[in-house]
Structure 1
């Protein structure tokens, strides 16, 4: 008899192994299709994790590349900022107003927040890390599988940056 939950599928088993190998966790998921369809963006006070995802969409210079197309639609200029209005509040109001356009343009994927611990390297193959001190990123994708692959690439980049910061060459590193 097959397992209806799919918990023992090869994809899930691989993801479990990769999560351990790359020290990558899925922290939050926003199903944009359901959020847009149920007008979640219509409210001034968004629930978590949607609020965290919106904040990531507004952090233009720091956001992951996968967020840029959605961010461009949601933050498209709508109207001039009032002199009494704060820039961040204005961007937020424009984003809320543009949410209908994002839905009609087919942004029905998910925002997935990943985390990986900061590594302190002692050699190219020896490090210390803790889940109490980690970096996070939001990634947008049409599938969880694709989001996971992008998360693995992001974690690898972060770990290589930690390795270089410690004075070691990323090329000298052997996969954990």
Structure 2
């Protein structure tokens, strides 16, 4: 009977040792998994930060690309060029009619201000204004707005 209890005691000790090793192994695996989980969470935070940074870079690039397109737009430069030439190439005959040429390009308030700055009646003096050169420099203000600096050389004859 003693042998039986000794064997049972030995098996019990062996089973406890195996369970103890399994517990330590499981605890180690759990610690490693938690460490790996924490490391993964840190990497996710870093990746989210990089994604936000790249999104900002992309937005900046797109805004700058849009501004570049506006500032180098031949269509806008041509519009400004034609409008200014229509307004500043005139003589006695077409002085008043020149505003009709640009009425589809300018707001009525702008045209009325331009008309107010000059005499609209008949002139006895022969005069002529001719645009010799015109350079348009564009600067983007917003995605769909530009400022234009117009350098114009005219020859006025009386």
TM-score (norm 2): 0.29
Task: Report which structure shows greater RCO (CA 8 Å, sep ≥6).
Answer: 1
Q: Which has the larger share of helix?
A: 2
TM-score (norm 1): 0.27
